[in-house]
Amino acid sequence: MSWLTAEEALAQLGTKPQTLYANVSRGRIRAKADPADPRRSLYHTADVTRLAERHAGRRKSETVAAEAIQWGDPVLPSAVSTIVDGRLYYRGRDAVSLSASATLEAAAAVLWDAPAVELAGEAIESGPPVIRNAFLALAGRVTRDLPSLGRSRSVLRSEAISVFSCVSAALAPGRGDFVHIRLANAWGRPEAADCLRRALVLLADHELNASTFASRVTASSGASLSAAVLSGLSALTGPLHGGAWQGVSALADMARHTGAEEAVRRVLSQGNPLPAFGHPLYPDGDIRASALLQHFEMPRLFEEIRKAGEAATGERANVDFALTAMAESFALPGEAAMVIFALARTCGWLAHAMEQVEDGHLIRPRARYCGPALVAGG
């Protein structure tokens, strides 16, 4: 990555220092401490260039819109969650502070702006927790559940509890008052329960990420809440999103044979980004990762990868790394990171889907055609 000094960034932006700092706090420009002088900061060149071009005032509106959807300005207003000054908030409440004692059910109540959220009935026995179970459970509901439009907030909340319970039964089968206990028992790792609880709360929502946006688009069409969650789950499986744990696992496998420093060097020497290091919305490090990493003993190999990766990239390990390290620490099954992510984020998808239904507008962007020349007539 290429970085600029404050003077270089200000010259390119043509703004005052306060504006530069404001753009950093809003996640529009990534920043890091200058290795040569920790009192100074460096600013990501591509972010500065993108923002400078946006403010030039000479571009067409469709160009601005196209860039805004790629880590740009928020494209939808939302009261569900936000990231400000490197902190994550759920309806104004600090998510890290909430994770100190709250359950996922309590986090859902915050995100849904509801008095309380309790699972509907006991979880069914559906075999070991695997992501396939959630797909099957949701697909079975989509054709039965009613469309979301024209239904009151109280009715939608009741249906959200039903959908959440359905996903919880699929991904956290067995008995227990809370999903983190069910999940720990299903994996035969009761000692992991508290870490699982913290991870679930920290991952419950994250503003307009790819899977949440997919959920909102589906909900905007009037589709059922279960359909919105199924859309989010599908997007989550991508390797650039919830599937990032696979890149971390592959890096760990390489490091077992070559050592951490060599594994990191090989990835970077091939021109590939190091998986699970850095996050555009957290220039000073992913707060969710640092909060989670404090509560389990990181395996030695992962600690070595973390040190080598941070030294080589200048970026800190993010929550995907922390989640994969936690799964390794407690000897959880291969899909554990994805199961935890999907179970947690179901709460956020439902919160955004209900908010989108209340908004009542179809999300329908236009395409900027760049194909072959148009030929009129026959």
| Strand duo 81-84 + 93-94: pairing | unpaired
Which residue in the list 241, 284, 295, 359 is annotated as catalytic? 241
Q: With contact defined as beta carbons under 8 Å apart, do 306 and 313 qualify?
A: no
329 vs 187: CA distance, rounded Å: 13
Neighbours of 294 (CB within 10 A): 9
Taking the C-alpha atoms of residue 209 and residue 219, their distance in angstroms, rounded to an integer, is 15
Which of the residues 44, 180, 206, 279 is marked catalytic? Answer: 279
For residue 320, indicate whether it is catalytic: yes
Which entry of 47, 145, 286, 320 is annotated as an active-site residue? Answer: 320
Q: Which residues have a Cβ under 8 Å from the Cβ of 355 and sit 6 or more positions away?
A: 78, 79, 80, 216
Q: Are 83 and 207 in contact (CB under 8 A)?
A: yes
3-state secondary structure of 106: helix
- Residues 30-56 as b/e (b if ≥16 CB within 10 A, e otherwise) read bbbeeeeeeeebbbbbebbebbeebee
**What is the arrangement of strands in the sheet containing 37-44, beginning at the earlier edge strand?**
3-4, 37-44, 31-34
Rounded to an integer, what distance in angstroms lies between the CA atom of residue 304 and that of residue 176?
36
- Residues noted as catalytic: 241, 279, 320
